[in-house]
Amino acid sequence: MRCLAFIILFWMGSVSIALPSNSVSKVDFERLFYGDIIKPQNYIKPIGMALIGNFSGAILENEKNEQFFVVQGDEINIENQIFFIEFISPDEIVLKNSEEKKTILRFLDQEKIIKKQVEEDWRNPKLPEIDLATYKQLAKNLGAPKFFINAIKTAPLTSRSRAGRLGIVVSENLPVIILRQLGLRPNDLILEIQKIPVLETERLFSELKSDSLSEILLEVQRDAKLRIIRITQ
């Protein structure tokens, strides 16, 4: 990939384009390499500050009226673009994209604070499970090599995120070198793949079968922060 990038840059630097002397050509390199930069405010809106368990953050709502909890330092996926939650205050949320451009989302009701206690069943050890065969198939669909899949000997543990969402815990016994290639770390909690909850395996496998997928986006919780992992096919 680095070699390809070098070749492209070399080619761009070595090719000259003849243009009429009275015309000006402006290339939008940002759009060329990153696609259309979306405006987060067109897809999400801030609902209010939130206290969930021991975590302080905010509730956001997407265009499907689905609400989700974020804290400062999280990453979120908006239309397959990654945004970083740089700052949360009683007045506003500051987002930053990969180009360091900031977007400010202001709370309409600055007095609104949503409080939710951690439900007792969140701590219940009897959580939904995923069987070994399904877990191996998931690893295969994510591009893991055969020897990595063969190294999976037990079904994964399931756990809940800080806000109670179900996920799969990445085992400490898996080859670290392959985990790094996938952008994962031991004890990461995989919550969603392509915005589909990871335990909804039928929907997930149907989505991952598509030949048109050039990349896969995973949402994981790592060290109590949300991270978006991009896997290129």
One DSSP character per residue, 176-199 reads: HHHHHHTT--TT-EEEEETTEETT
- Domain ranges (residues) in the chain: 40-116, 120-232
pLDDT confidence of residue 128: 86
Tokens of 169: 């815990």
pLDDT confidence of residue 118: 55
Per-residue pLDDT of the chain (233 residues; tens, 9 = 90+): 444 343 333 333 433 333 444 444 444 444 544 456 789 999 999 988 888 878 889 999 988 888 889 999 999 999 889 999 999 998 899 999 988 999 999 988 766 777 765 555 555 557 888 999 999 999 888 888 899 999 899 999 999 898 888 999 999 988 888 888 889 999 999 999 999 999 999 999 988 887 677 889 999 999 999 999 998 86
Q: What angle do CA 124, 128, 133 make, to 5 degrees?
A: 145
pTM value is 0.73
- Please report how the helices 201-208 and 132-141 are oriented relative to each other, as an axis angle in degrees rounded to 10: 30
pLDDT confidence of residue 123: 54
Q: Quick one: DSSP state of residue 118? A: P
CATH 2.30.30.830 applies to domain 40-116: yes
Q: Which amino acid is at 103?
A: T
Which residues sit opposite 83 in a β-bridge? 76
> What is the distance between the alpha carbons of residues 71 and 204, in angstroms, rounded to a whole number?
26
Of 168, 170, 178, 176, give the one whose Cα is nearest residue 146: 178
Query: Exposed/middle/buried for 70, CB within 10 Å: 0-12, 13-18, 19+?
Result: buried
Query: Exposed/middle/buried for 127, CB within 10 Å: 0-12, 13-18, 19+?
Result: middle
Overall fold of domain 120-232: Pdz3 Domain (2.30.42)
Residues 167, 221 contacting (CB under 8 angstroms): yes
> What is the distance between the alpha carbons of residues 11 and 15, in angstroms, rounded to a whole number?
6
